[in-house]
């Protein structure tokens, strides 16, 4: 898809379709009034007759409107002006895309940028329009034999800005939107690949490919023998039952000052999770290919940072394994020693994500990080607590938590903070080791984070449980690419704060 910005009146756009907002109670937007005046009241007459009310989701496609140079004018209902927020703006853009896909138009001039979204400027609207458009157009059909398009595809969007003074700002927003959208797209593709293709080795190769594409990206991959030397007994206990060797991937993006402490993202990369000896139920087990979506989001956000050449240092660390049952797989009751030296009683082999993350969280101490944020499809309890809307957030540093909450509000990729109180630590007690890997039935998301917190005492750390947001089930089954948008916005905020 090609995106660009342009200033100019809507009636003078020589293009396939001009998209114009209309508000509830039949209120015309500024661009609608311009076209209405040029067409001798054509738009207002249609509105007066009730052809479109302006409610959210309303559409009206017009052809050959008098005194306009475009082939079509698409009126989009935006609801009440005062009620338009981040989510509403996303829905408006999705309505536009779905309508245009069946219109035959391939080049579009969008005046939705004039819609007022509370506390959001033109840059935000352009960037998030691109993300919404690409989200609606995304398809994963690489593995289908028939990839033919049924209609002429959309190929170009022009976003309207109010004057030449906004062109440079708009062009930067286009670059950001395209880079973040590409990162989300990459995370989706990785998540949607089946477990027989997207293995730990495949993730390592994709990370090495990223380094070949960008001169300031360096990727290193540790093999199982390297992890054994480092004492990563917890991580390696998960991969014992699989023929796929574990990998520990490090992607270093270095574009900031050499003395600048890096942001470190740690992504859970279980490429298929059978549950191990604590075998999961068969129904829905196919969706356990998505247990590497934390890793996918880390690769996606590093890709976005590199595409934008952000002046900052960011490191992605991905512990990646396959969790399978086997004669030498870990058993419930086994005790392993983590890289930190702490011992863990494995009461449930299906609580494997924390076993690979804890060694990775110890490993990242070597980078002297500014902050560490881990991203993991960690607990079904998070879905019970928060559903499919926000990711769960827990942190040992309130300023970091607040920064992530703010980035979530800006990006629309939201998270919600849960308590990380010492009261919950008692649930991890073991009679035979320093800790158990599960904390019983209550507060499963919190006790999982409490477990991880025992390995993060040397730096500021936050944990994002994305079990509820990383993929969708049912008719719309597929990876969402979350939380690439949230993480990218967090990095952008850090860059802005450093200026």
Closest residue by Cα to residue 74 from 45, 89, 44, 95: 95
435 and 380 within one domain: yes
Q: Which residue has the higher pLDDT, 241 or 119?
A: 241
CB contact at 8 A, 273 and 350: yes
Average pLDDT on 457-466 reads 98
For the cut 70, the answer to whether the pLDDT of residue 468 exceeds it is yes
100 and 224 within one domain: no
Average pLDDT on 368-383 reads 98
CB contact at 8 A, 25 and 55: no
3-state secondary structure of 17: strand
Cβ-proximal residues to 3 (8 Å cutoff; 6+ apart), any chain: 130, 156, 157, 158, 159, 174, 177, 178
Average pLDDT on 267-292 reads 97
CB contact at 8 A, 346 and 359: no
Q: How far apart are the first and last CA of the chain?
A: 32
Closest residue by Cα to residue 351 from 467, 460, 245, 247: 467
State the average pLDDT for the chain. 96
What are the tens digits of pLDDT across the range 487-497?
999 999 999 99
Q: Provide the pLDDT confidence category of residue 274 given band limits of 50, 70 and 90.
A: very high
Does some domain include residue 177?
A: no
Q: Provide the pLDDT confidence category of residue 57 given band limits of 50, 70 and 90.
A: very high
What are the tens digits of pLDDT across the range 219-240?
999 999 999 999 999 999 999 9
Closest residue by Cα to residue 100 from 74, 123, 67: 74
Is 280 annotated in the active site?
yes
CA atoms within 13 Å, Cβ hemisphere of 21? 24
Does some domain include residue 274?
A: yes
What are the tens digits of pLDDT across the range 32-50?
999 999 999 999 999 999 9
107 and 190 within one domain: no
**22: CATH:** 3.40.220.10
The helix or strand, by DSSP H or E, that contains position 59, with its residue range, turns out to be strand 59-63
**416: CATH:** 3.40.630.10
Q: Indicate the range of 10-24, 139-153, 222-236, 466-480 predicted with least confidence.
A: 139-153
Is 225 annotated in the active site?
no
393 and 283 within one domain: yes
3-state secondary structure of 183: helix
pLDDT value at residue 416: 98
Cβ-proximal residues to 166 (8 Å cutoff; 6+ apart), any chain: 5, 7, 122
Q: What is the pTM of this model?
A: 0.95
Backbone angles phi, psi at 468, to 5 degrees: -90, -15
Percent of the chain with pLDDT over 70: 99
CA atoms within 13 Å, Cβ hemisphere of 446? 18
Average pLDDT on 205-217 reads 97
288 and 318 within one domain: yes
Does some domain include residue 174?
A: no
For the cut 90, the answer to whether the pLDDT of residue 331 exceeds it is yes
The Cα 491–Cα 133 span in angstroms is 22
For the cut 70, the answer to whether the pLDDT of residue 150 exceeds it is no
Domain final residue, candidates 104, 135, 169: 169
Does some domain include residue 175?
A: no
* Cβ neighbourhood burial of 441 (10 Å; 0-12, 13-18, 19+): exposed
447 and 313 within one domain: yes
CB contact at 8 A, 422 and 331: no
What are the tens digits of pLDDT across the range 290-300?
999 999 999 99
pLDDT value at residue 21: 96
Cβ-proximal residues to 219 (8 Å cutoff; 6+ apart), any chain: 207, 208, 210, 211, 249, 250, 251, 252
pLDDT value at residue 327: 95
Average pLDDT on 144-149 reads 78
Q: Provide the pLDDT confidence category of residue 74 given band limits of 50, 70 and 90.
A: very high
3-state secondary structure of 455: coil
Does some domain include residue 470?
A: yes
The Cα 335–Cα 349 span in angstroms is 11
Say what angle helices 484-498 and 398-411 make with each other, to 10 degrees: 110
**Residue among 33, 218, 280, 454 flagged as catalytic:** 280
485 and 378 within one domain: yes
How many helices (H) and strands (E) would you count in the chain? 14, 21
For the ranges 82-86, 144-148, 298-302, the maximum mean pLDDT occurs at 298-302
Does some domain include residue 149?
A: no
214 and 136 within one domain: no
Tally of structural domains, the chain = 2
Q: Indicate the range of 148-157, 201-210, 450-459 predicted with least confidence.
A: 148-157
Residue for token pair 């700002």: 169
CB contact at 8 A, 113 and 22: no
Q: Provide the pLDDT confidence category of residue 152 given band limits of 50, 70 and 90.
A: confident
Q: Provide the pLDDT confidence category of residue 143 given band limits of 50, 70 and 90.
A: very high
For the cut 70, the answer to whether the pLDDT of residue 151 exceeds it is no
119 and 140 within one domain: yes
The Cα 24–Cα 287 span in angstroms is 41
pLDDT value at residue 164: 84
**Residue among 268, 289, 354, 494 flagged as catalytic:** 354
135 and 205 within one domain: no
Closest residue by Cα to residue 256 from 65, 494, 460: 494
Cβ-proximal residues to 426 (8 Å cutoff; 6+ apart), any chain: none
The Cα 468–Cα 377 span in angstroms is 8
Does some domain include residue 444?
A: yes
Joined together, the tokens standing for residue 487 give 């993480």
Pairing type for strands 343-346 and 247-254 reads unpaired
Joined together, the tokens standing for residue 131 give 């993300």
Range of the domain at 484: 182-498
Average pLDDT on 96-124 reads 94
Domain final residue, candidates 169, 204, 225: 169
Does some domain include residue 111?
A: yes
3-state secondary structure of 278: coil
13 and 82 within one domain: yes
310 and 407 within one domain: yes
For the cut 80, the answer to whether the pLDDT of residue 281 exceeds it is yes
What are the tens digits of pLDDT across the range 395-447?
999 999 999 999 999 999 999 999 999 999 999 999 999 999 999 999 999 99
């Amino acid at each position: 898809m090609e995106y660009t910005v342009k200033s100019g009146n809507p009636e003078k756009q020589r293009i396939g379709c001009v998209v114009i907002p209309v508000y509830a109670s039949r209120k015309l937007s500024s661009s609608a009034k311009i076209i209405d005046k040029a067409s001798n009241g054509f738009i207002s007459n249609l509105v007066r007759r009730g052809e479109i009310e302006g409610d959210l989701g309303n559409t009206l496609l017009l052809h050959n409107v008098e005194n306009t140079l475009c082939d079509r004018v698409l009126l989009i209902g935006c609801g009440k002006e005062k009620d338009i927020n981040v989510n509403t703006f996303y829905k408006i853009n999705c309505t536009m895309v779905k309508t245009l896909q069946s219109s035959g138009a391939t080049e579009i001039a969008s005046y939705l940028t004039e819609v007022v979204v509370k506390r959001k400027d033109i840059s935000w609207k352009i960037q998030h329009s691109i993300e919404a458009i690409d989200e609606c157009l995304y398809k994963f059909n690489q593995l289908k034999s028939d990839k033919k398009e049924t209609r002429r595809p959309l190929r170009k969007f022009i976003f309207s800005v109010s004057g030449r003074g906004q062109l440079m700002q708009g062009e930067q927003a286009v670059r950001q939107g395209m880079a973040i959208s590409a990162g989300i797209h990459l995370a989706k593709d990785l998540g949607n690949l089946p477990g027989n293709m997207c293995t730990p080795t495949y993730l390592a190769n994709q990370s090495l490919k990223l380094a070949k594409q960008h001169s300031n990206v360096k990727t290193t991959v540790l093999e199982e023998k390297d992890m054994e030397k480092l004492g990563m007994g917890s991580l390696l206990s998960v991969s014992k039952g699989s023929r796929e060797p574990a990998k520990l991937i490090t992607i270093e993006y270095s574009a900031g000052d050499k003395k600048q402490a890096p942001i470190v993202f740690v992504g859970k990369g279980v490429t298929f999770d059978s549950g191990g000896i604590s075998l999961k139920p068969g129904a829905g087990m196919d969706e356990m290919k998505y247990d590497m979506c934390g890793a996918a989001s880390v690769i996606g956000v590093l890709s976005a940072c590199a595409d934008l050449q952000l002046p900052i240092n960011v490191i992605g660390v991905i512990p990646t394994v396959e969790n399978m049952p086997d004669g030498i797989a870990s058993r419930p009751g086994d005790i392993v020693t983590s890289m930190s030296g702490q011992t863990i009683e494995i009461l449930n082999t299906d609580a494997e994500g924390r076993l690979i993350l804890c060694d990775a969280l110890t490993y990242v101490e070597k980078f002297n990080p500014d902050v560490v944020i881990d991203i993991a499809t960690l607990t079904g309890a998070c879905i019970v607590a928060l559903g499919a809307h926000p990711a769960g957030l827990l942190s040992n540093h309130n300023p970091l938590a607040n920064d992530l909450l703010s980035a979530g509000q800006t990006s629309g990729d939201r998270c919600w903070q849960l308590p990380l109180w010492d009261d919950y630590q008692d649930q991890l007690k073991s009679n035979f080791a320093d800790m158990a890997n599960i904390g019983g039935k209550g507060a499963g998301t919190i006790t999982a984070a409490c477990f991880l917190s025992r390995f993060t005492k040397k730096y500021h750390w936050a944990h994002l449980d994305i079990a509820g947001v990383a993929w969708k089930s049912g008719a719309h089954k597929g990876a969402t690419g979350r939380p690439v948008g949230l993480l990218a916005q967090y990095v952008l905020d850090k860059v802005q704060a450093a200026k």
